[in-house]
C-alpha cells in the first residue's frame, strides 16, 4: 500500500517567490488582509490539507523597497482563521528567545481551544542581532544558549499544558462546584532560564499539547527536534540529501526514546504548475525576471557575512566564506545556500534567482502529474512523510495545487479524500499526550 | 440635545455574577468556547454597541471549585472575533508588567489590521504576587514601579506604531518598489525599563494606534489615564462619587494638555432586567442564592489581607484594616470594597452578595425603562460619557439589554441606530492620531 502523504501549506503574503507581489493577481497589502488569509486557509481546507503554516520573526528584515516584508503576527492570525475554517490545522511560528513561557503556552492553549484542537507551534530560537535589539539586547544570544533556552521553554510549556488534568472541570451545577482543585496543580518550575509557578489559567486544551513543529536543521536544531518535535519542516534540494536527513532525524528520534513514526518529516517544495512543462518553466522564468537583483544581493551578503560589493552578480561566490561553525544564527540556511551555489557552480545572479523563487527550497516546475510524481517519488524513497507546499504566488499557486495536484494524489491513493479526524494531531496521525503524572 | 451614550459590553464567560455558571442557561465551558463568544459579540453588534471588552490577568485566581476561573487569552480571542463580526470594536486587556512592548504593540497592530481598525487595548499593570511568580519574580513589583513601567511601555508602543508613516507602502509593481525605506524608521528607544530598536515589522494600522483604555482608579492609575487613555472603565457606586471621579479625571486630562473630550469615562453597571421591578429583584435574589459564601469569603480575605476566619459571615468587616497606602496591588478595588461595606454597614455575607453580583460595580435591577433611566440620569448629570455594561448572566443578560434597553435609548435619542463609522475610534468619536514626526 502506498504511504499516505501529509501536506502542509506554508503561506507567505503574496507567495514564496520574492517578486510575486509584482504579479497582476497580487494584493500588495495581502500581508495584513484577513480576507486574503481567509481565502487561502479555506482553499487549503477545500483540498483537505493537514494544515496551513505561517513563519515569523519579530523584526523587520532589510529593505521594505524590495518586497512586502511584513505581515500580521501569526498567533493572532491563527485565531482569526480558527473562526473562518472548520477542520484544517493551524500552525504558527513563535520564538522561545523573545517570549515568556507562561504567555506563549497560554496563547497556544487558547488557540487550541478556540479552534477545537487544531493548533500547532513551530518552535524557533530566532537568529539575528536585529531581532535581539527589539528586546533589550545588544546582540543575539549564542546559538547553543538559544537552544538550551528553547529546550527549557518547552519543558515549562509542557508542564503548564499538563497543569490541569483532562477531567479537572466538573461543572457540577447542583453542588456549586465548577472545578476539582485537586486536579489543578502548580508546576513550580525553577531552572537556569525560567522560574514559573503556574498552574496555567485555562483548562487542558483539546489536543493536550498543540502539535510541536521544528524547522531548524543545525545539529542543535535536529537534537531539539528529536526530543520534542512532532513535525519537521526542512529544506532539502536533492533526494540523497533528503534521504540522509530523514534517516538521521528518525534515528535521533529513536535514540531520544521516541517512536520514529511520532515525528513527521516534511521537506519544502515550491511547485510551479503549468498545463505543460514548457508553460510551467515559462512562468518560472517570468517570475524570476521580476526580481530586482540589487535588493536580493544585499540580503545574500548579510546572510554570508560579506559586503555586497564582494558579490559581483555574474561571478560565483568568493572562495573564502566562513564555515558553519563560525555562524551564530540560521546555521542550516547558511550551509544550504553555500552548498547549492558550490554544487551547481551558480553565479550570484543565478543563485539569487534560485533563492528568490523559494528561499532555498526545492522548486519543481511542471505539469500537475509531474508535481505529483515528484511528491510520490520522495515519499516512496523514504525521503519524506509528506511535504511543506510553498506556493510561489498566492492565491493562484495554492488554488492550482488544490485543484489540479491534490486530485491526482487522491486518485493514486496517496492523500485523503476527506478529513478523518477533527484535530491537527488526528490529521498527522499523532497520539494525544497524556498529562504528566502529578508529583504530589 | 441629549448627550449620546457610548456603550461597551464587558463580557465574562458566563456573566459577571459569580454564580451565573450554575444557571440552567449557562455553558460551564463558555470560557473556552468560540461559539459562545461569537454569539455574544454578534449580539452586541446587533445592538450597535461601541465595543466588547475582555478583562485579563495572566494567573489562575484562587480556587477552581468556585466558578469558571479561566478563559482564553483575550488578544487571540479578539482576533477570532474580528473574523466573526464586522463593525463592533474589540477591546482586550493586556499587562505592561508581563509583556514586552515590541511583541504587544505588534499584536495589537495586527489585530487592528485584521479587524479593519476595531482594536482597543485596556492597559493594566497586573496586581498580585501570584501573577509575578508566573514570570520569574518572587513578588509583584511595587505599585509605583509598575506604573512607571506602564508609562514607558506606552511611550515605546506609540513610537513603534508610528515607525511606519501612513503612506510608507508604495506598492509600485511597475518599478518593483514595494515600500519607501525613508518612511520607515527605527525608534531607538532607550529608557530605564526598555531598549527597543524597531521599527515595527508591520505597516501602520487603520486606527494609527489602537484605542487606549485604562481601568485603574488609584492615583497612579488616574494619572496614567489622564496622560494616555481614550476610554476609562471605572467602578462607581453612587452618583456623587461618579460625578467627582468624572470631574477629577477630566480636569487631570486637561492638566496633561489634552482635550477633556478625548477621554471617555464609562462607569460599570450590572443590569438585572425583568418585566417588572419585582421580577428583576427576584432574579437578582435567585442569583445571589446560588453563591457559596465560603468560596467568596476566601477571596475577600485575600483582597483585604486578613485571614478568612477573621471575617465571620454575619458580622461587619473588622475595624482595623490597612489603608490604601499600604496596599501594593489593585488599590482602587480595595478601597471600593471597604468603602461600600462601611457606608452601608454590610455584613460579610451581604458584602459577598453585592460583590458576587458585579464585583463591586453598580447593580441596577429593574425594568428596561428603569435601566434606561439609570443610564440617562448619570449621563445627564455629568457622571458618565457612557457605560460599561456588565451582564450578570450570559448570553441572556446581553440579549435582554440589546433587545429591550437599547431600543428605549435609541427612541430617546441617546444611542445610535446604526454605526456611523467603521473603526472603534469613530464609534467613540476619537481622532485618529498622526504619526510623531521623524526626528531625522
Does A169 reach chain B within 8 Å, measured CB to CB?
yes
Min distance A384 CA to chain B CA atoms (Å): 33
CB contact burial B50-67 (16+ within 10 A = b; e otherwise): bbbbbbbbbbbbbbbbbb
Phi then psi for residue B140, to 5 deg, are: -70, 150
- CB atoms B135 and A19 under 8 Å: no
Instruction: Give the C-alpha separation, A401 to A7, whole Å.
Output: 11
State in Å, rounded, how far the first CA of chain A is from the last one.
47
Neighbours of B432 (CB within 10 A): 13
pTM for the model stands at 0.94
Query: What residues of chain A, 76 to 115, have a C-beta less than 8 Å from chain B?
Result: 76-84, 98-100, 102-103, 106-107, 110-111, 113-115
Q: In terms of Cα–Cα distance, which of A81, A101, A104, A93 is closest to A131? A: A93
pLDDT of residue B439: 47
Instruction: Give the C-alpha separation, B29 to B14, whole Å.
Output: 9
Instruction: Give the C-alpha separation, B356 to B17, whole Å.
Output: 5
Min distance A87 CA to chain B CA atoms (Å): 14
Instruction: Give the C-alpha separation, A251 to A267, whole Å.
Output: 17
The x, y and z cell numbers of residue A91, run together, are 500552525
Does B129 reach chain A within 8 Å, measured CB to CB?
no
Does residue B54 contact residue B11 with C-beta atoms inside 8 Å?
yes
Of residues A134, A178, A292, nearest to B28 (C-beta)? A178
Min distance A301 CA to chain B CA atoms (Å): 19
Segment-wise mean pLDDT, segments of 10 residues, chain A, 440 residues: 89 94 96 98 98 95 86 97 98 97 98 98 93 92 92 98 97 96 96 97 98 91 96 94 97 97 97 97 91 86 89 91 75 84 90 77 94 96 97 97 98 98 98 75
DSSP string of A355-412? HHHHTTSEEEEE-HHHHHHHHHHHHHTTS-SEEEE--SSTTHHHHHIIIIIHHHHHHT
The long-range contacts involving B367-371, CB below 8 angstroms and separated by at least 24 positions, are: B367/B273, B367/B274, B367/B275, B367/B276, B367/B277, B367/B280, B368/B273, B368/B400, B368/B404, B368/B405, B368/B408, B369/B408, B370/B277, B370/B280, B371/B271, B371/B273, B371/B401, B371/B405
Task: Tell me how far the alpha carbon of residue B64 is from its chain's centroid.
Answer: 23
Low-confidence ranges of chain B (pLDDT < 70): 1, 328-329, 359, 437-440
- Report cis status (omega within 30 of 0) of the bond before B199: yes
Instruction: Give the C-alpha separation, A163 to B181, whole Å.
Output: 47
Phi then psi for residue A306, to 5 deg, are: -130, 170
Query: What residues of chain A, 401 to 420, have a C-beta less than 8 Å from chain B?
Result: none
Cβ burial, residue B29 (10 Å; 0-12/13-18/19+): middle
Strands (E), B254-400: 264-273, 362-366, 386-389
Instruction: Give the C-alpha separation, B115 to B205, whole Å.
Output: 10
Mutate to test the interface with A, among B72, B128, B167 (most CBs of A within 10 A): B72
Task: Tell me how far the alpha carbon of residue B51 is from its chain's centroid.
Answer: 10
Min distance B15 CA to chain A CA atoms (Å): 14
pLDDT of residue A437: 59
Residues in chain A closer than 8 A to B199 (CB atoms): 60
The enclosing H or E element of B81 equals helix B74-84
Closest chain A residue by Cα to residue B195: A136
- Report cis status (omega within 30 of 0) of the bond before B395: yes
In CATH terms, is domain A6-273+362-428 a member of 3.40.720.10? no
- CB atoms B202 and A70 under 8 Å: yes
Quick one: fold of B6-277+360-428? TIM Barrel (3.20.20)
Residue B148: strand, helix, or coil:
helix
ipTM: 0.94
Closest chain B residue by Cα to residue A205: B32
Beta bridge partners of A388: A8, A268
- CB atoms A114 and B59 under 8 Å: no
Does B173 reach chain A within 8 Å, measured CB to CB?
yes
Task: Supply the DSSP symbol for A316.
Answer: B
Neighbours of B251 (CB within 10 A): 12
Q: In terms of Cα–Cα distance, which of A249, A240, A247 is closest to A221? A: A249
Of residues A130, A173, A178, nearest to B64 (C-beta)? A178
Q: Which residues contact A365 (CB under 8 A, 6 or more apart)?
A: A271, A272, A273, A274, A277, A280, A281, A283, A284
Q: Which residues contact B361 (CB under 8 A, 6 or more apart)?
A: B16, B235, B267, B268, B269, B270, B388, B390
Instruction: Give the C-alpha separation, B92 to A382, whole Å.
Output: 47
Q: Which residues contact B330 (CB under 8 A, 6 or more apart)?
A: B127, B128, B216, B303
Does B180 reach chain A within 8 Å, measured CB to CB?
yes
The x, y and z cell numbers of residue B345, run together, are 454597614
Task: Supply the DSSP symbol for B205.
Answer: B
Q: Is the dihedral of CA B424, B427, B431, B432 positive or negative?
A: positive
Q: Is the dihedral of CA B343, B348, B352, B353 positive or negative?
A: negative
Q: Which residues contact B346 (CB under 8 A, 6 or more apart)?
A: B316, B340, B354
- CB atoms A98 and B98 under 8 Å: no
Q: Are strands B231-234 and B211-214 parallel, antiparallel or unpaired?
A: parallel
Closest chain A residue by Cα to residue B28: A171
Q: Is the dihedral of CA B357, B362, B365, B367 positive or negative?
A: negative
The x, y and z cell numbers of residue B103, run together, are 511583541
Cβ burial, residue A325 (10 Å; 0-12/13-18/19+): exposed
Does residue B219 contact residue B200 with C-beta atoms inside 8 Å?
no
Neighbours of A293 (CB within 10 A): 15
pLDDT of residue B440: 41
Residues in chain A closer than 8 A to B198 (CB atoms): 60, 134
Strands (E), A31-118: 51-54, 89-95
Instruction: Give the C-alpha separation, A31 to A221, whole Å.
Output: 28
- Give the domain ranges of chain A: 6-273+362-428
The enclosing H or E element of B378 equals helix B368-380
Averaged pLDDT of chain B: 93
Neighbours of A365 (CB within 10 A): 23
CB pairs under 8 A between A and B: 236
Instruction: Give the C-alpha separation, A230 to A207, whole Å.
Output: 13
The enclosing H or E element of B171 equals strand B169-172
Neighbours of B380 (CB within 10 A): 12
Residues in chain B closer than 8 A to A197 (CB atoms): 130, 133-134
pLDDT of residue B327: 72
In whole angstroms, how far apart are CA A114 and each of A135, A207, B43, B81, B85?
Answer: 29, 12, 19, 10, 16
Query: What residues of chain A, 377 to 396, have a C-beta less than 8 Å from chain B?
Result: none
The enclosing H or E element of B289 equals helix B277-289
Instruction: Give the C-alpha separation, B157 to B149, whole Å.
Output: 12
Cα radius of gyration rounded to whole Å, chain A = 22
Of residues B64, B135, B171, nearest to A100 (C-beta)? B135
CB contact burial B386-423 (16+ within 10 A = b; e otherwise): bbbbbbbbbbbbbbbbbebbbebbbeeebbbeebeeeb
Q: Are strands B89-95 and B51-54 parallel, antiparallel or unpaired?
A: parallel
Does residue A387 contact residue A14 with C-beta atoms inside 8 Å?
no
Q: In terms of Cα–Cα distance, which of A7, A59, A68, A4 is closest to A393? A: A68
Min distance A254 CA to chain B CA atoms (Å): 34
Instruction: Give the C-alpha separation, B310 to B178, whole Å.
Output: 67
Closest chain A residue by Cα to residue B202: A70
- CB atoms B133 and A201 under 8 Å: no
Neighbours of A435 (CB within 10 A): 20
Residue A7: strand, helix, or coil:
strand
Amino acid at each position: 500500500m502506498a504511504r499516505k502523504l501529509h501536506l502542509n501549506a506554508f503561506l507567505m503574503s503574496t507567495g514564496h517567490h520574492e517578486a510575486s507581489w509584482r504579479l497582476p493577481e497580487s494584493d500588495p497589502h495581502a500581508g495584513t488582509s484577513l480576507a486574503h488569509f481567509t481565502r487561502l486557509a479555506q482553499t487549503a481546507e477545500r483540498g483537505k490539507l493537514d494544515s496551513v503554516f505561517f513563519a515569523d520573526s519579530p523584526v523587520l528584515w532589510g529593505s521594505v523597497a524590495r518586497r512586502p516584508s511584513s505581515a500580521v503576527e501569526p498567533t493572532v492570525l491563527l485565531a482569526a482563521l480558527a473562526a473562518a475554517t472548520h477542520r484544517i490545522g493551524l500552525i504558527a511560528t513563535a520564538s522561545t528567545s523573545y517570549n515568556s513561557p507562561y504567555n506563549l503556552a497560554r496563547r497556544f492553549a487558547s488557540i487550541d481551544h478556540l479552534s477545537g484542537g487544531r493548533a500547532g507551534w513551530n518552535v524557533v530560537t530566532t537568529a539575528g542581532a536585529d531581532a535581539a535589539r527589539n528586546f533589550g539586547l545588544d546582540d543575539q544570544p549564542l546559538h547553543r544558549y538559544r537552544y538550551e533556552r528553547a529546550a527549557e521553554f518547552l519543558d515549562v510549556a509542557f508542564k503548564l499544558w499538563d497543569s490541569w488534568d483532562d477531567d479537572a472541570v466538573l461543572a457540577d451545577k447542583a453542588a456549586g462546584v465548577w472545578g476539582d482543585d485537586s486536579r489543578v496543580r502548580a508546576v513550580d518550575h525553577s531552572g537556569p532560564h525560567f522560574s514559573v509557578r503556574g498552574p496555567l489559567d485555562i483548562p487542558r486544551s483539546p489536543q493536550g499539547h498543540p502539535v510541536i513543529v521544528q524547522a531548524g536543521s543545525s545539529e542543535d536544531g535536529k537534537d531539539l527536534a528529536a526530543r520534542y518535535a512532532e513535525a519537521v519542516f526542512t529544506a532539502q534540494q536533492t533526494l540523497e540529501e533528503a534521504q540522509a536527513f530523514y534517516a538521521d532525524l528518525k534515528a535521533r528520534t529513536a535514540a531520544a526514546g521516541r517512536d520514529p513514526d511520532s515525528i513527521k518529516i516534511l521537506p519544502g517544495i515550491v511547485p510551479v504548475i503549468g498545463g505543460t512543462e514548457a508553460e510551467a518553466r515559462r512562468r518560472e522564468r517570468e517570475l524570476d525576471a521580476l526580481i530586482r537583483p540589487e535588493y536580493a544581493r544585499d540580503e545574500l551578503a548579510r546572510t554570508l557575512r560579506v559586503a555586497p560589493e564582494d558579490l559581483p552578480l555574474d561571478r560565483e561566490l568568493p572562495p573564502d566564506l566562513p564555515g558553519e561553525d563560525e555562524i551564530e544564527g540560521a546555521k542550516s540556511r547558511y550551509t544550504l545556500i553555500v552548498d547549492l551555489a558550490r554544487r551547481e557552480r551558480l553565479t550570484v545572479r543565478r543563485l539569487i534567482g534560485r533563492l528568490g523563487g523559494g528561499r532555498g527550497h526545492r522548486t519543481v516546475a511542471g505539469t500537475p502529474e509531474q508535481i505529483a510524481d515528484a511528491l510520490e517519488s520522495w515519499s516512496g524513497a523514504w525521503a519524506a512523510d509528506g511535504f511543506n507546499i510553498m506556493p510561489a504566488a498566492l492565491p493562484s499557486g495554492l488554488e492550482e495545487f488544490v485543484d489540479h495536484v491534490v486530485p491526482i494524489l487522491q486518485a493514486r491513493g496517496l492523500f485523503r479524500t476527506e478529513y478523518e479526524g477533527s484535530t491537527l494531531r488526528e490529521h498527522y496521525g499523532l497520539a494525544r499526550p497524556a498529562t504528566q503524572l502529578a508529583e504530589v
